Homo-oligomer: A and B are copies of this chain.
Amino acid sequence: MKKVNLYEANDFSDASFKRLLVHDSPYFKILNFNFRAGQELPLHSHNIEGQVSMTILEGEGEFMGKDANLSAKAGDVLVCDISEPHGLRAKSDLRLLVTIAPPI
């Protein structure tokens, strides 16, 4: 068993979003991204098999997609194929938890 507290292990930066590798194994990779209002994870995709989940722990923003954006707020879980363009833009300080399976 391994435990990490995201609120203690990762913080925010005015320079760019802060990325924390929470876990990496043959089964999944878990990452935490903290954004100041206005920061973003740009739209991107990888031409491989697998899916990604993006969970909003705190804050508001929007999930970015190829054709449209979706509002993002605490409690939202978005799932998409890794090959599908995805990103996130923060409108307030925002904590995001990402799980990638299988890991990239």
Contact = CB atoms under 8 A, between A and B. Distances in A.
Interface of A: 1-8, 22-23, 25, 27-28, 30, 32, 49-51, 53, 55, 57, 63, 65, 70, 73-80, 84, 86, 97, 99, 101-102
Contacts of A78: 1-3
Which secondary structure dominates chain A's binding surface? strand
A6 B22 CA distance: 22
A3 B53 contact: no
Contact of A75 (B1, B7, B63, B75): B7
Given A53-B99, A70-B1, A99-B53, A79 B30 contact: yes
Contact of A23 (B25, B79, B86): B79
